[in-house]
Structure 1
Amino acid sequence: MKQHTVTDSPYGPLTLVADDGVLCGLYMTDQRHRPPEETFGTRDDTLFAEAEEQLKAYFAGDLEEFTVELRLNGTPFQRTVWDALRRIPYGETRTYGQLAGILGAPAASRAVGLANGRNPIGIIVPCHRVIGANGSLTGYGGGLERKQRLLDFERGASLF
């Protein structure tokens, strides 16, 4: 059974979605690949205390690694990519090619990019830490401005 809540953040409202009490979605306003609202289930503002607490600590600069339980729904390849995203250290970036190499598929940078773009749990699964081969910001479901702000925040260049 799915349930959701909406919480504030320095990046705008975040919609948290749980499936049987386990976080399976974190979506930003106007996010590409955001599922329709009707798929989020009923609203429950009490179910997400741990995730909200960790997000507040992250935005305060007091948390670098999330430990909230996640349910990542996707293909086996997507889940492998999303797991690799969670291993990118706070404040660092990797290219799509580097991730493909880490996964043992150096020619799969485009597939890594597609999986990255379908990440259902933004921020917590830090897809914003992936950049283009030349160091440029490339696609981000939450928008390039948000991606830049998240990277700047993690690098200590911008405090809220």
Structure 2
Amino acid sequence: MIRYAIDHCSLGWVLAGANDKGLCCIELGDDPDSLRSALQSRFPDTTLEQATDNLGGMLPKVVRFIDGPQSGLDLPLCIEGTVFQKTVWEALRAIPAGETVSYTELAAKVGRPKAIRAVAGACAANRLAVVIPCHRVVRSDGNLSGYRWGVDRKRALLAREASRRAAA
């Protein structure tokens, strides 16, 4: 079972979902209904229950993390995926806020320099928006490419991180 809660954040709406192991899903979207649909699509064989307690206090922490400096989210995480996906996601989490890498560079970082499409696929399979910062991956020419939660959100996250890094 996954319990979830929805709130507004600086990037629109956010859904946080947790199972008995921890936070397993953070989705960004334009409205609560599309977030519920996205959750159902991501976890089609799982019972979903809307939490009435802000997910035991997790949702406000998620919103503060998204809206504030992304220096770490102090919540238990349930990161599930293939060994390759987890390797890519760990490499993503090592990229400092305000920096970007290309898909090619990320593939090299995980020891699979020819697996550029597989790296992009791992980014697309990410269930924890912002916590696993796939928004920090750009095309080889430095331009923004697709982002599961919208290129405008990706642009906003990168601009926010860059300005905070410059101010530090």
> TM-score normalized by structure 1?
0.86
Structure 1: segments with no counterpart, 5+ residues: none
Structure 2: segments with no counterpart, 5+ residues: none
1:1-160 alignment to 2 at 5 Å? 1-20=1-20, 22-29=22-29, 34-36=38-40, 39=46, 41-46=48-53, 47-50=55-58, 52-61=60-69, 63-156=70-163
Amino acid in structure 1 at the alignment position of 2:85: Q
Q: How much is the aligned-residue C-alpha RMSD, in angstroms?
A: 2.3
> What SS does the aligned partner of 1:142 have?
coil
Greater than 6 Å deviation, 4+ residue runs: none
Relative to structure 1, is the Cα distance of residues 51 and 104 closer, same or farther in structure 2, using a 3 angstrom cutoff? farther
Between structures 1 and 2, the one with greater helix share: 2
CA distance in 2, matches of 1:70, 1:40: 19
Q: Which moved more, 1:103-112 or 1:66-75?
A: 66-75
CA distance in 2, matches of 1:40, 1:52: 23
Number of aligned residue pairs = 155
Q: Which moved more, 1:123-132 or 1:63-72?
A: 63-72
The 8 Å contact of residues 65 and 90 in structure 1, kept in 2 or not, is answered as: no
The 8 Å contact of residues 100 and 108 in structure 1, kept in 2 or not, is answered as: yes
CA distance in 2, matches of 1:152, 1:40: 37
CA distance in 2, matches of 1:8, 1:114: 28
How big is each residue's C-alpha offset from its partner over 1:22-52, in whole Å with a ceiling of 9 and x where there is no partner?
1000011257x93427756111143342453
The 8 Å contact of residues 24 and 71 in structure 1, kept in 2 or not, is answered as: yes
> What SS does the aligned partner of 1:8 have?
strand
> TM-score normalized by structure 2?
0.82
